[in-house]
Amino acid sequence: MSSSVTASPATEGLRRALPIVLGYVPVGFAFGVLAVKNHIPPSLAVAMAVLMFSGSGQFVFASLWGAGAGILSVTAAVFIVNLRYLLMSAAESPWLARLPRGRRFLLGLGLTDETFAVHITALQGGWPLSPATMFICNSTTHLAWVTGCAVGAFCGELVNDVRPLGLDYALTAMFLALLVPQCVSRLHVLVALFTAVLSIALKAAGMSQWNVAVATVLGASLGVLLLHIRRGPGLNTPDAAGGNEARPAQSASPEVRP
Amino acid sequence: MNTTMSAWVDAHGALLLCILGSVLATLLPKVLPVTFLRGDSLPALLRHWLSFVPVAVMAALVGPDVLFYEGRFNIGASNLFLVVSLPALLVAWWGRNYFATIAFGIGLVILARWLGWY
């Protein structure tokens, strides 16, 4: 992702947004259809897309609301699904520390699984911190999400099956393409495998609202534990394993390089 | 106009409250840490822990995406996403090209469905 570091913020923001847009439009569409099926008026389905901008949270909301769950249990379920945002928002904070608080707040509003993944990968890959790029990417994907939801909510019956276009696989393909460059050392590969298997197992065991947050907390903890147990060469410095890990600005973390 | 408006609010009062609660339950986790954490002066242990969050959260998201096909856990050849993801991982690994990996994955899904295999 670091082929042209000289691209303008708009170009780079749109480039980051492109695969996300491909995935958000059909998923947003599916949400709009589901929301109306679950007795949510189309206008409020679109309002949810504007205000929440959270695929998993909105899907949990629609299915629980349709099943007749109460206000507190719907809100609690949405919160549990969104616990992972706490982790991602915190993980972004060292990279954004130089920005004024207002901009960090604004970029936090645009945080989703997908925008987090592309931004953090770009920053680790050496892209300079550009709030304009991040904001353009977040806004473009937000617009795509709202558009997909609106089309699904207001004219869901007009559109036929989108599966032949393969777009239901777009976000999965994007995560695979972003996960591989994250694996900069054997330790990171181990953390990825452990977390993926744990997340799958928790979901298969019925914890489909908790699985991502719980697996991420335990996976990151395993990573730190192994890092601190075996501070031998090659393990404690991801960059020594041929990775391209750039440290967040202003945290020259000498403790990682003894 | 006012009466239709208030009738609409009455009809959807519970839903509006529920949406309000869910918007807060979504936005607060997104904005609170990045707005208020002093990311450049966190304890070293926490910073190390956070440095593993990207790889962990992406793996936690993509694992179930691949192994749950059409809502069911499926590690067989009838899971199109699993069948496509294995070569897509190889393309990601060897090619190291973000867009090529995505195009390859989507292309295989389109092809498999167009051929009527899935």
Q: Quick check: A234 pLDDT over 60?
A: no
- Global pTM value: 0.87
Q: Please classify residue A107 by burial: count the beta carbons closer than 10 Å to its beta carbon, then call 0-12 exposed, 13-18 middle and 19+ buried.
A: buried
Give the closest-approach CA distance of B111 to chain A in angstroms.
Answer: 9
If we measure between CA atoms, which residue out of B65, B89, B57 comes closest to residue A168? B65
Residue A188: closest C-alpha in chain B:
B55
Q: What percent of chain A has pLDDT over 70?
A: 87
Cα B7 to Cα A128: distance, rounded to the nearest angstrom = 52
The answer to whether the CB atoms of A199 and B48 lie below 8 A apart is: no
User: Which residue matches tokens 């982790």?
Assistant: A87
As a whole number, the mean pLDDT across chain B is: 93
Rounded mean pLDDT of A140-167?
A: 89
pLDDT band at A7 (very low <50, low <70, confident <90, very high): confident
Judge contact between A43 and A67, C-beta under 8 A. no
Q: What are the tens digits of pLDDT across the range B70-111?
A: 889 999 999 999 999 999 999 999 987 889 999 999 999 999
Q: How far is CA A199 from CA A20, A31, B86, B89, B114, in A?
A: 22, 23, 18, 19, 32
Cα A23 to Cα A18: distance, rounded to the nearest angstrom = 9
Nearest CB to B34: which of A40, A104, A178?
A104
The answer to whether the CB atoms of B45 and A224 lie below 8 A apart is: yes
Residue B59: closest C-alpha in chain A:
A196
Instruction: Compute and round to an integer the Cα radius of gyration of chain B.
Output: 22
Interface test with B, best of A73, A87, A228 (most B CBs within 10 A): A87
In terms of pLDDT, which residue wins out, A241 or A223?
A223
Q: What are the tens digits of pLDDT across the range A56-77?
A: 999 999 999 999 999 999 999 9
